[in-house]
């Protein structure tokens, strides 16, 4: 964390770091089975399904939080970081109502 001199306030646009322990994550993403499955999927499907750039992330088409199956490879798609962020933001917005 950056040093802030006494009496100076942190800029409002700089967010505080969230401790890793407080972030809720599905532990399946850390498993060796997921890492191997992800690697195979990206090798067979290297292009982002939305923008045709090189994809780096495996995304669940129907989010697991919305009832999608985690291990169903038919529910996976390759996305680049940008497209994944856009899709995730839309899903989060839809969940909030």
Residue 2 lies in a domain: no
Q: For residue range 32-41, list pLDDT tens digits in order.
A: 999 999 999 9
Work out the average pLDDT over 73-97. Answer: 93
What is the reported pLDDT for 95?
A: 85
> Who contacts 60 (Cβ-Cβ below 8 Å, separation ≥6)?
68, 70, 75, 76, 77
Q: For residue range 16-57, list pLDDT tens digits in order.
A: 665 555 555 789 999 999 999 999 999 999 999 999 999 999
Q: pTM value?
A: 0.73
Q: Residue 88: is its pLDDT beyond 80?
A: yes
Residue 4 lies in a domain: no
Residue 5 lies in a domain: no
Residue 19 lies in a domain: no
User: For the chain, what percent of residues have pLDDT higher than 90?
Assistant: 63
User: What's the number of domains the chain is made of?
Assistant: 1
Q: How far apart are CA 74 and CA 59, in angstroms?
A: 11
């Amino acid at each position: 964390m950056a040093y802030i001199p006494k009496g100076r306030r942190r800029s409002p646009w700089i967010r505080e770091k969230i401790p890793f322990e407080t972030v809720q994550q599905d532990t399946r993403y850390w498993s060796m089975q997921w890492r191997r499955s992800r690697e195979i999927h990206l090798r067979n499907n290297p292009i982002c399904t939305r923008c045709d750039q090189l994809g780096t992330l495996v995304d669940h088409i129907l989010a697991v939080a919305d009832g999608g199956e985690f291990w169903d490879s038919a529910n996976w798609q390759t996305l680049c970081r940008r497209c994944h962020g856009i899709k995730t933001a839309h899903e989060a917005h839809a969940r909030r109502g």
